[in-house]
Structure 1
Amino acid sequence: MKQADLDYFKRWFKEYIAQYYELPGDGIKPILLKERHTERTCIEIVLVGRKSGLSDEDLLLAETAALFHDIGRFPQWKRYATFIDSASEDHALLGLDVVSRHKIFAGIPPEERELICEAIRHHNLRELPTNLSQRQYLFSGLLRDADKLDIWGLVISELEGRGNLVETLTGYIPISNSFSRDILAELMEGEVPYYSSVRNRNDMILLRLGWVFDLNFTMSCRLVLERNYVERLCVHLPVRSELQEVKKYLIAYLKNRAKDRS
């Protein structure tokens, strides 16, 4: 794959999503939200990939995967007016349908095409399958990290009052002083919580915090620490001793991961 291929993909992406700018009412806002998320995820994946020692050729593949990872969000919103997969369709599979129908990757080698498509397929799963090849794991893991890094920043901006699209992202979630003990237990066991356990905003924040256990690259852990994502999320939780313990545990986990030389 060459830089010219990526340049073509970027032009195609812009032309493709332009059709969704014409959606009625406030339909443009969710479209712009996902367009900008895509742009930032591309930046994140190149940052993490370069710091992790990927070759220039692999960085092109990684950025292509990031560029198309949420392409399914646009038809999803047009058809269902939601980004909630459980209330519509799996947006990763919708995205694979888009690239397949339009034969976007017809001009690149089959092995590169497969790596990109598998990364898209796996980016929104709770965890990666265990039967991936080393190369599939590399690109799928990198995309998942980059996606999370930007979503954390977006969620924090919303919580800090610099946005107004929380319900667009997650659907309506009630605000409460309570939180799920099941989610808390999963976090203290080093596990990523299940969406099915989420009942209120505190639960959703805790779930987002649990994503740290799914980070695949040392550089990703370092960026979470540098950006103070854990602290900036935890400040929006109730002041409870058990939640403070979770915060300490997460930061200690990240610091330990950040020591790796990989």
Structure 2
Amino acid sequence: MKEWIDISTNWFNAYCSSFNRLTESQSSDFTIKKEHSLRVAAIALSLAEKLEWTDEEQKIAFLVGLLHDLGRFRQLVEFDKFSDEKSVDHAGEAVKILKEENLFDVLQIENRELIFAAILNHNKFKIQEGLTGQQLLHAKLIRDADKLDIFRVLGVYYANRNGKANHTLTWELPKGTAVSPLVSKEILAGKMVSKKNIASEMDVKIMQLSWVYDLNFRPTFEFLVKNRYLENVYNSLPKNDLVIEIYRKIKVYTENKIMS
């Protein structure tokens, strides 16, 4: 396992180092994504261990976590932005890059389609239908690991904002004073909030809380509660009856997932 982690991490670091003509702004964004990828890999491995997956499954979980955002780096250099809507699907770009590179040859990976399927589905609103059992498991795991690290980033950001906006997290939207009706309807129905219904920064935060409805494994919920990630988002919201009701529903759902 250690050799696998070392080889794949060294390859990843070397790939990142190949981008050496970045602006100051790009360099900062580049580092953020690189560090995020390393953390997601560690989280994915930890979840796989807690789920008592086989060594081979744990290796794949780590690798998918490490490589899931590989397309972000080329995306940033070519388009100077992380917006898939205004550039390319970064998951698809990651798979394209991996087909060009030799990492899988070095690691002697045979089931490459498993890794590709997990990466392709990590950033979609819903997992595509028709995946094999293993493909579905790994797609679910990377989605959980990715969200857990984003929750960590959100907690730090909302607690130490100091008036400075991070538009990759708030989407350059007005703060808003109330939750939009369609957003509240979705989350109170136990659904993930759709991006198309977002109208304010307040809606974005409610959408982030709704991610719990897309989480899949008990260790994920335990990690979420232990680190108070939902609480961090909730504490950044103005309080009213609707927001309190939404948070209560989210908390009950989370606790039930841990108990089940």
Same fold (TM over 0.5): yes
Aligned to 1:237: 237
Aligned to 2:29: 30
**Conserved? CA contact 1:65–1:116, under 8 Å:** yes
**Conserved? CA contact 2:158–2:232, under 8 Å:** no
1:222 lines up with 2:222 in the alignment: yes
**Conserved? CA contact 2:154–2:169, under 8 Å:** no
State the identity %: 27
Q: Distance in 1 between matches of 2:165 and 2:133?
A: 37
Give the C-alpha shift of residue 3 in structure 1: 4.7
Would the alpha carbon gap of residues 170 and 34 (structure 1) be closer, same or farther in structure 2, given more than 3 Å must change?
farther
Give the C-alpha shift of residue 106 in structure 1: 2.7
Higher deviation after alignment, 66-75 or 169-178: 169-178
Secondary structure at the aligned position of 1:85 is classed as: coil
Would the alpha carbon gap of residues 170 and 22 (structure 1) be closer, same or farther in structure 2, given more than 3 Å must change?
farther
Q: Distance in 1 between matches of 2:4 and 2:221?
A: 31
1:142-199 Cα shifts (integer Å, max 9, x gaps)? 1110000000110121111169672245542222213211111101111111111112
Aligned to 2:59: 60
**Conserved? CA contact 1:83–1:170, under 8 Å:** no
1:86-141 Cα shifts (integer Å, max 9, x gaps)? 11111000111111111431342422x22111110110011112322111111111
Q: Distance in 1 between matches of 2:50 and 2:73?
A: 31
Aligned counterparts, 1:60-209, within 5 A: 60-107=59-106, 108-111=108-111, 113-161=112-160, 166-169=166-169, 171-209=171-209
Q: Where does the alignment leave 5 or more consecutive residues of structure 1 unmatched?
A: none
**Conserved? CA contact 1:84–1:171, under 8 Å:** no
Give the C-alpha shift of residue 228 in structure 1: 1.6
User: Could you state the TM-score of these two structures normalised by the residue count of structure 2?
Assistant: 0.93
Q: Distance in 2 between matches of 1:170 and 1:120?
A: 24
Matching residue's letter, 2:119: I
Higher deviation after alignment, 184-193 or 18-27: 18-27
Higher deviation after alignment, 62-71 or 153-162: 153-162
**Conserved? CA contact 1:82–1:168, under 8 Å:** no
Would the alpha carbon gap of residues 109 and 28 (structure 1) be closer, same or farther in structure 2, given more than 3 Å must change?
closer
Q: Distance in 2 between matches of 1:242 and 1:101?
A: 50
Q: Distance in 1 between matches of 2:20 and 2:246?
A: 42
Q: Distance in 1 between matches of 2:171 and 2:185?
A: 25
Q: Distance in 2 between matches of 1:220 and 1:202?
A: 25
Secondary structure at the aligned position of 1:22 is classed as: coil
Secondary structure at the aligned position of 2:255 is classed as: helix
**Conserved? CA contact 2:183–2:203, under 8 Å:** yes
Higher deviation after alignment, 241-250 or 158-167: 158-167
Matching residue's letter, 1:77: L
Q: Distance in 2 between matches of 1:3 and 1:40?
A: 16
Alpha carbon RMSD of aligned pairs, Å? Answer: 1.7
Q: Where does the alignment leave 5 or more consecutive residues of structure 2 unmatched?
A: none
Give the C-alpha shift of residue 234 in structure 1: 1.0
Matching residue's letter, 1:184: S
Give the C-alpha shift of residue 21 in structure 1: 4.5
User: Could you state the TM-score of these two structures normalised by the residue count of structure 1?
Assistant: 0.93
**Conserved? CA contact 2:64–2:115, under 8 Å:** yes
Give the C-alpha shift of residue 35 in structure 1: 0.6
Aligned to 1:253: 253
